[in-house]
Amino acid sequence: MSDRQRGFRSFGEQALHYFDRPHEAVTTSEIASPAAWIGRDLPPLEEMAYVLSQGEISEIEAAITVAKASGKEPRDLLADDFPLPSLAPHIREWREAVGEGVGFQVVRGVPVERWSQEEAELFFWCLGLHLGRPGGQNPKGDLLGHVTDTNASKADPMARLYQTSANIDYHCDAADVVGLLCLKKAKSGGKSRIVSSVTVFNELVKRRSDLVARLFEPFQLDSRGETKGDAPGSIPITPCCYAGGKLRTFYHSDYFRSAVRHAEVAPFTEKEQALLDTYEQIAAEPGIFLDMDLQPGDIQLLSNHTNLHARTDYEDHEDPAERRHLLRLWLSL
């Protein structure tokens, strides 16, 4: 099936799309943007979230039936195979909020408690088809991620951090949008922590303007085993690009920092170390970030261009059937 005939992008196609960020000039001035939010100034999440109505839930469940009846595998479905006529205007609003507005959207009320996991996966995948184009999340081509604790160790440099129960430091994913659908929540902890990368940039301008320009030069990003053959163990990625008055940021604390384990990667200079430390200190300040305690049936849609996301550590349930479990989508807009 050709790229035009399918509803998703491969991992490589999606990464190329995401990193094709326009760049006109280095800026060391504060940026005015609806995405430059500050956590303490936002309304409560209950006021910001869109809550699905019973009629919209019925429409979704009817669409699940239509998609099942098509006989297609989920990866072969298109948006037309999952009709959502009443929700379509709201989905456009969510896409606008994530791509051009505040940079995130929460949707509540998905009845995952009465659905099978297969139905939840089908719904979330098809919602992604309406929002944009889902894409691969690793070179193996996995299209729908399962965020659960597999007992992997954060100390293992090859571990994927979402497969642990440890905290995950601030980062972005290589897709325009990351979406999460909560199926089960942890016994305690496991909050989704987000911060506006535009706000962090603005605060850096105010506090350490001498460090700002370095964000527009590449850092090495640890590939953590996701390159093939004789490919290098790290790749150069420029954190910030600026064009048309918009700042687009890719930042990955753990993978920028662990790249120096490779012999070909030079240690950080004093200025680079100060930049990483100061940038992350700003992002971790209470009042600047926003914590979301996602409940079963909650969806979080988040721009990877204007936000960083992290996760607090958590304690899980002893019963395997009740353990923390989120579905994850990567989307191109």
The amino acid at residue 174 is A
Query: Virtual CA dihedral for 117, 120, 122, 127, nearest 10 degrees?
Result: -160
Based on its alpha-carbon atoms, the radius of gyration of the chain, rounded to whole angstroms, reads 20
Q: Which domains does the chain have, with CATH numbers?
A: 11-332 (3.60.130.10)
218: left (phi over 0), alpha (psi -120 to 50) or beta: beta
Residue 208 has pLDDT above 80, yes or no: yes
Q: In terms of pLDDT, which residue wins out, 20 or 141?
A: 20
What are the Cα distances from residue 126, in Å, to 71, 179, 318?
A: 15, 12, 32
Residue 38 has pLDDT above 60, yes or no: yes
Residue range 46-79, pLDDT digits in tens:
999 999 999 999 999 999 999 999 999 999 999 9
Task: Give the per-residue pLDDT at 249.
Answer: 98
Residue 328 has pLDDT above 80, yes or no: yes
- Looking up tokens 């099936």 gives 1
Residue 255 has pLDDT above 80, yes or no: yes
pTM: 0.92
Residue 157 has pLDDT above 60, yes or no: no
- Looking up tokens 């905290």 gives 167
pLDDT above 90 covers a percentage of the chain that reads 83
b/e burial code for range 278-297 (CB count within 10 A of at least 16 → b):
bbbebbeeeebbbebebebb
Residue 235 has pLDDT above 60, yes or no: yes
How high does pLDDT run on average in the chain? 92
Determine how β-strand 299-303 pairs with β-strand 104-108. antiparallel
C-alpha angle with apex 91: 86 to 96, nearest 5 degrees? 145
Mean pLDDT of 129-150: 91
What are the Cα distances from residue 290, in Å, to 39, 96, 141, 198?
A: 5, 20, 31, 14
Residue 229 has pLDDT above 80, yes or no: no
